[in-house]
Amino acid sequence: MTLTDSDDVDIMKHSHGLNDTTDVLVSPKDRMKVEKFAKLRGMGVKLVDHYGRYFDKEVALIIKHDQYRSLQYNSYQDISKHLKTLLKENRRYVKLQDLGTSYEGRVMTLIKISANHGARNPIIFLDAGAHAREWAAPAFAMYIIDQLVMTLNKSETEDLLGVDWYILPVVNPDGYEYSRSDPDNRMWRKTRSKTWREECFGADINRNYDFMWGYRGASFDPCNFQTYAGEKAFSERETRLVRKVMKDNSKRIKLYMSIHSYGEYLIHPWGFTGSYLPDQWEKFNRLAQVYSKAVVNAGGRPFRVMSTGQWYPASGGSGDYAFAVEKIPYTYTLEITDGYQFNYPEELLHTVLPQYYEGLKVMAEEMKRDFPNKG
Ligand code: 0X9
Ligand code: ZN
């Protein structure tokens, strides 16, 4: 069947491209047919029952050509699909690496974006969504990905500021989907793995890394729904997959940033203590100020820059691990959005994400300058 106007199907509006919808009125007896038609073509279907036109029995089907959208909160499935679409449409610039699966079996995909994959440029490694409820973080990671790919498409010569971007947009897909599954689960933070307490699930990914594990600001109680550090360091598959990215690329990764929310903070090691700072703290501070200034220049608010431990000490975080163990020269945690806690309104994403992105671009330029000898 083709989707054309007929006695059975009333197309109220055609799609005008990606992300647009086709809105269709259909009688209940033909509903399945149209739904199947859309699903077979990978289109999303939203059903509005009892649309109330002609007869109250009529049904409207809204067919979305692509469920994924930049600047909205997307499902993990749509995010994964979108990464594949980007690969298909940009084979020169985009590579995908399946890292493995999450505890519940979701495939975790690292996207590598480069103007020249053979050039051995310095790598900026970004991850987001370690904490399930911090939805703004994966949204920002996806925004960055879309912008980088768009930049490469606009100008063949543009070289993404001379760095390669490795991005893992959702570190904790099980938790993310759990937090999306029901309003009651919206505040879920941890993974969804089984623990030795039968009734309690999950560990805090940002307490699960093997540097000063369990030393401060972490819990050993699996029923602690915030900061349970896990049964041991790297007990969580997802944490191990992030480690794998770091280990596989440790020589070339010059900047690692873990994107979280909320509060507008850009924090650097140490996280395990607030009593002292690493020798390099002035470099950390300087680069963070550069980020913050660029955000301000783009019309945003300044970020609060400090060591993580000065904010509040917590050990077993990814930033400390990346710096202390993997020897990545610059590591940060970026806490984005302010004023709405974990429920940053979707319709406001377009106001802040472009500002945050400007900061990253300037950081990339700095990385290129700091590490000119290609890793
Ligand atoms: O507590 C955390 O893991 C982070 N804040 S959040 O609200 N996103 O949960 C801060 C992480 C900073 N890292 C350490 N304190 N080690
Ligand atoms: Zn967080």
Distance CA 98, CA 110 (A): 6
Residues 171 and 32 in one domain: no
Residues 2 and 83 in one domain: no
Task: Render pLDDT for 335-373 as a digit per residue (tens, 0 to 9).
Answer: 999 999 999 999 999 999 999 999 999 999 999 999 985
Residues 235 and 279 in one domain: yes
Residue 256's alpha-carbon distances to 51, 155, 235, 329, 346, in angstroms, are 50, 27, 22, 8, 26
- How far away, in angstroms, is 243 Cα from ligand 1 center? 18
Residues 137 and 242 in one domain: yes
Domain-embedded: residue 221: yes
Which among 176, 206, 337 is the best mutation to test ligand 1's pocket, defined by most ligand atoms within 8 Å of the CB? 206
Residues 87 and 36 in one domain: no
Ligand 1 near 268 CB (within 6 A): no
Domain-embedded: residue 174: yes
Domain-embedded: residue 193: no
Residues 100 and 161 in one domain: yes
For ligand 2, an ion, list residues with CB under 5 A. 131, 134, 260
Domain-embedded: residue 67: yes
Number of residues that this document lists for the chain? 375
| Per-position DSSP letters for 296-321, written without gaps between them | HHTT-PPPEEEEHHHH----S-HHHH
Domain-embedded: residue 333: yes
The domain tally of the chain equals 2
Domain-embedded: residue 195: no
Residues 100 and 248 in one domain: yes
Single pTM value for the model: 0.85
Residues 63 and 7 in one domain: no
Task: Render pLDDT for 174-189 as a digit per residue (tens, 0 to 9).
Answer: 999 999 999 999 999 9
Which ligand 1 atom is the nearest neighbour of the CA of 312? 15
Six token digits for residue 24: 């269709």
Domain of residue 18, residue span: 1-49
Domain-embedded: residue 362: yes
Residues 239 and 170 in one domain: yes
Q: Binning pLDDT at 50, 70 and 90, where does residue 6 land?
A: low
Residues 256 and 344 in one domain: yes
pLDDT of 145 above 80: yes
